[in-house]
Structures are given as structure tokens and as C-alpha cells.
């Protein structure tokens, strides 16, 4: 359904959806591995890349295509490719963008497995320089003649620092490098990196896009040419999403706008409460005026989202605090209906070497909170009682 000019919520519900002959108002789950060829020459044509049709769900599937059209439309992009996890999407996008001998610039504060993937690229003859991309000059200084890719998250997981998407894109494009932005924390509801100049957007759809913590998923979003090439690479890597997971994420995305608004409203209440608590040292939330990049956030994001980072006075209190919570769930992941809390230093970012981690601001006293959709007063009551026990 082509509704490019409709509002975000309308598009999140209707984009990509097609009605079949049954009149089903939801997308059917085409739970099949191969698709039958009409005859031998039809099979030979499709396998040879001639004509349109489905062959095998590792390459394309009608349920997944609805999801891909929906996210491409919402990100104001030409095309998208869904993968089975965020890491499958990031790996496939990285391998689409670089080859042995290339150089990559990545922000130093990124999700732990993404960081680890970049470290592993050394085994494939790819050098990666980690920089603090919140200052675009650092990106410029790190450029080498063979730099082909610049990668960052904004806001970054877990410290919630921001990178100026447009400034970094201007620098990178001057030097013909691809800019890839992980937009997991904001979703296209609050931030559209492609409109600001990014070439490729990746998502862990496991998080806000699906929104219910019941499936994994990943997205690569970009130009038609880029996605064609990513589809080729990804098909060989084999990280295709299952039709059922695609269906769950399609359903989740239909409520993305109202969920993101509520996550943000709740996060603002929780952040203000934390700011006023004497056992909390620092609260980092892009919606607070004292976030060092508050103005940049207002320019490139239309909402502050549901993620908060905060520091207790003493790192030794962290386990006691986490173990005392009753409503907030101690688990990694984020962007779900329920509030999730975790300790990056020992959990999501445990793979980052300690000295590097500390220099990036991922300290032992830092706690990451994914504020859920419960009543804000209940989340606050729970945090307050747990803080009372340390
Ligand atoms: C910002 C970000 N990107 C990517 C990923 C990886 O996503 P997945 O767990 O779906 O592979 C995560 C996971 O937490 C994440 O937080």
C-alpha cells in the first residue's frame, strides 16, 4: 500500500500491507521454506535471477517482505532487509560495506557484541579505529585513505551520548565512506538518520520495533542498490528471519508511536525522580536539560526515548540495588513493555576490556534502565524501595 504522504502512525499500521483473496486484515504467515515452481523453465528463470517470484525463504518471503516495506517506508528509505537478529543485520551490513584491507571508524561506545564484531574484523584484514564520535573532529582525524565505513549508535548504548549525524555524514561523504547508524534506541519515530545523510540504518528489531520481548529480529535499511547487495551477502551468511518473527514485529510496529510516546513520558518521570535522589550520583537522559548534548538531541531527535543511564555513589551497592528490585526486571535487552534493568560493566558490555570500558565512561557504578510501559509511579516506587536498602 503506497501511503508515503500519510502520518507516521498511519504508515506504521498500513505500509507494506497487502490484502490477499481471503480478505484477512492481517498479513498471513507464509511458514514455508521453499516455494513451488510452476514448471522447469519457471524454476530455471527464478534461480537465474530472471522474473519475479519466491524461491526459498532464506532469500525472500512474502511475510518478511511486508515487514521490510514497512520499515523502509518509516525510515524514509528506498528498501530494507530483515534478518533474524540485530547482530545478523549488523554483520551482514558490515560485510556488505567493506572488504579485506579496508579501514573502519567506529564509535567507542556501542553495544558490546557490535564492539566485539569490530575487534574480530582484524582477523579478516580490516583495521578498526574506535573514536569518541560525539566530537565529529575525532572522526575526521581518524580517517585514512582506505577508510570505507563509519559506524555509530546515537544515543549510544549504554552511556546515551549523542553523535551529530549530519556533521559526521558531511565529513565521511567528502571522503567517500559509507555512514551506518544503529537507530535501535530511537526508532524512526524519533529519529531518521537517512534524512540527515546516513547511507545505512541498522536496527535490533528485538527492541522497540517489536516492543514485546517475544522475538529477536534485525533490520538493514538503505538505498535499493545497497539492499540488493546486502540481500546477496545476507543470503549466503544465512541469517534470515523466520516468517513468524516477521509477523510478530509487523504487529509490534503497528503500535510503535504510542509506545514510544509512553516510554518517553515514563522515562522523563523516572529520570526526574532519580535526579532528586541522594543515593544517585549522575543521571544521563537525553530529555534532561543537563544532558551535555541536549540541544543536539532536540535538533536530530523528536523525542528522548525510554533509555536512562545512572550511577550509584558506590559500585559495591549495585548488586544489592539490583537484587532488591521487585517490579523492574533484571535482564539485558530493552524496549519492551516491562521495565528492564541491567549492569553494563558485567552484562551487555562485559566483553569490552576493562580499561577501555572505563575510559569510555562505562563505569562499574553505571546502571542502564529501559523504562517500560507500566505506570510511572510504580516504577519509581520500586526503584525508591530498592535504593532504600543500600
Ligand atoms: C543498540 C543495539 N544494537 C544491536 C543490538 C543487537 O541486537 P540483537 O540482540 O537483536 O542481535 C543490541 C542488543 O542489545 C543493541 O542494544
* Cβ atoms of residues 352 and 360 within 8 Å: yes
Mean pLDDT computed over 144-149:
98
Domain identity same for 352 and 218? no
Domain limits for position 311: 256-387
Q: How far is the CA of 202 from the centre of ligand 1 (A)?
A: 10
In a domain, 1, yes or no: no
Q: Residue 164's pLDDT band (boundaries 50, 70, 90)? A: very high
By residue count, the chain amounts to: 390
In a domain, 232, yes or no: yes
Where among 253, 276, 297 does a domain terminate?
Answer: 253
Residue 273 in this model has a pLDDT that exceeds 80: yes
Domain identity same for 236 and 275? no
Q: What is the CATH number of the domain that holds 228?
A: 3.40.640.10
Cis-peptide into 32, omega within 30 deg: no
Domain identity same for 130 and 152? yes
Domain identity same for 276 and 209? no
Residue 2 in this model has a pLDDT that exceeds 80: no
Residue 1 in this model has a pLDDT that exceeds 90: no
What is the pTM for the complete model shown?
0.98
Burial degree of 315 (CB within 10 A; 0-12, 13-18, 19+): middle
In a domain, 118, yes or no: yes
Domain identity same for 378 and 311? yes
Residue 120 in this model has a pLDDT that exceeds 60: yes
CA R_g for the chain: 21
Q: Residue 5's pLDDT band (boundaries 50, 70, 90)? A: confident
Q: What is the CATH number of the domain that holds 303?
A: 3.90.1150.10
Q: Is the CB of 249 under 6 A from ligand 1?
A: no
- Structural domains counted in the chain: 2
In a domain, 356, yes or no: yes
Residue 366 in this model has a pLDDT that exceeds 90: yes
Q: How far is the CA of 154 from the centre of ligand 1 (A)?
A: 13
Mean pLDDT (the chain, rounded): 97
Phi, psi at 18, each rounded to 5°: -130, 140
Domain identity same for 233 and 271? no
Q: Report the C-alpha gap between 56 and 303 in whole angstroms.
A: 40
Q: Which of 102, 132, 182, 199 is catalytic?
A: 182
Amino acid 3: pLDDT: 56
Q: Residue 35's pLDDT band (boundaries 50, 70, 90)? A: very high
Mean pLDDT computed over 301-312:
98
Residue 155 in this model has a pLDDT that exceeds 90: yes
Domain identity same for 79 and 59? yes
Mean pLDDT computed over 303-309:
98
Query: Is 182 assigned a catalytic role?
Result: yes
In a domain, 2, yes or no: no
Q: Is the CB of 366 under 6 A from ligand 1?
A: no
Alpha carbon distances (Å) from 228 to 6, 12, 225, 231, 268: 27, 23, 5, 5, 40
Q: Which of 30, 56, 58, 356 is catalytic?
A: 58
Domain identity same for 229 and 266? no
- Cα separation of the two ends of the chain: 54
Mean pLDDT computed over 273-288:
97
Residue 129 in this model has a pLDDT that exceeds 70: yes
Domain identity same for 129 and 16? yes
Mean pLDDT computed over 54-80:
98
Where among 219, 235, 253 does a domain terminate?
Answer: 253
Mean pLDDT computed over 9-37:
96
Query: Is 326 assigned a catalytic role?
Result: no
Q: Distance between alpha carbon 68 and the CA centroid of its chain, in Å? A: 15
Amino acid at each position: 500500500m503506497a501511503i508515503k504522504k500519510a502520518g507516521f502512525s498511519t504508515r506504521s499500521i498500513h505500509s507494506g500491507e497487502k490484502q490477499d483473496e481471503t480478505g484477512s486484515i492481517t498479513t498471513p504467515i507464509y511458514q514455508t521454506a521453499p516455494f513451488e515452481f510452476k514448471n522447469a523453465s519457471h524454476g530455471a528463470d527464478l534461480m537465474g535471477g530472471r522474473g519475479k517470484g519466491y524461491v526459498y525463504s532464506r532469500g525472500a518471503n512474502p511475510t518478511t517482505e511486508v515487514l521490510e516495506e514497512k520499515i523502509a517506508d518509516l525510515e524514509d528509505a528506498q528498501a530494507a532487509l530483515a534478518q533474524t537478529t540485530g547482530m545478523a543485520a549488523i554483520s551482514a551490513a558490515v560485510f556488505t560495506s567493506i572488504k579485506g584491507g579496508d579501514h573502519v571508524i567506529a564509535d567507542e561506545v556501542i553495544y558490546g557484541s557490535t564492539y566485539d564484531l569490530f575487534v574480530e574484523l582484524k582477523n579478516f584484514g580490516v583495521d578498526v579505529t574506535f573514536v569518541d564520535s560525539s566530537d565529529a573532529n575525532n572522526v575526521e582525524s581518524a580517517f585514512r585513505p582506505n577508510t570505507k565505513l563509519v559506524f555509530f549508535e546515537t544515543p549510544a548504548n549504554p552511556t546515551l551520548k549523542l553523535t551529530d549525524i549530519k556533521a559526521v555524514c558531511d565529513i565521511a561523504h567528502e571522503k567517500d565512506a559509507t555512514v551506518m547508524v544503529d537507530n535501535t534506541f530511537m526508532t524512526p519515530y524519533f529519529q531518521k538518520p537517512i534524512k540527515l545523510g546516513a547511507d545505512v540504518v541498522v536496527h535490533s528489531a528485538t527492541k522497540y520495533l517489536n516492543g514485546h520481548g517475544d522475538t529477536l529480529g534485525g533490520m538493514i535499511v538503505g538505498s535499493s542498490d545497497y539492499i540488493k547487495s546486502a540481500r546477496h551477502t545476507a543470503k549466503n551468511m544465512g541469517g534470515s528471519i523466520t516468517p513468524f518473527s516477521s509477523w510478530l514485529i509487523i504487529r509490534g510496529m503497528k503500535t510503535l508511536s504510542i509506545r514510544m510516546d509512553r516510554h518517553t513520558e515514563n522515562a522523563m518521570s523516572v529520570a526526574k525522580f532519580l535526579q532528586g535522589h541522594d543515593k544517585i550520583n549522575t543521571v544521563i537522559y537525553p530529555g534532561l536539560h543537563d544532558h551535555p548534548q541536549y540541544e543536539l538531541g532536540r535538533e536530530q531527535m523528536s523525542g528522548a526515548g525510554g533509555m536512562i543511564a545512572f550511577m550509584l555513589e558506590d559500585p559495591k551497592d549495585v548488586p544489592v540495588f539490583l537484587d532488591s528490585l521487585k517490579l523492574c526486571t533484571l535482564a539485558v535487552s530493552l524496549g519492551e513493555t516491562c521495565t528492564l534493568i541491567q549492569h553494563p560493566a558485567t552484562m551487555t558490555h562485559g566483553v569490552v576490556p576493562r580499561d577501555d570500558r572505563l575510559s569510555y565512561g562505562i563505569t562499574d557504578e553505571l546502571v542502564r534502565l529501559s523504562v517500560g510501559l507500566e505506570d510511572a509511579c510504580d516504577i519509581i516506587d520500586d526503584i525508591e524501595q530498592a535504593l532504600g536498602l543500600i
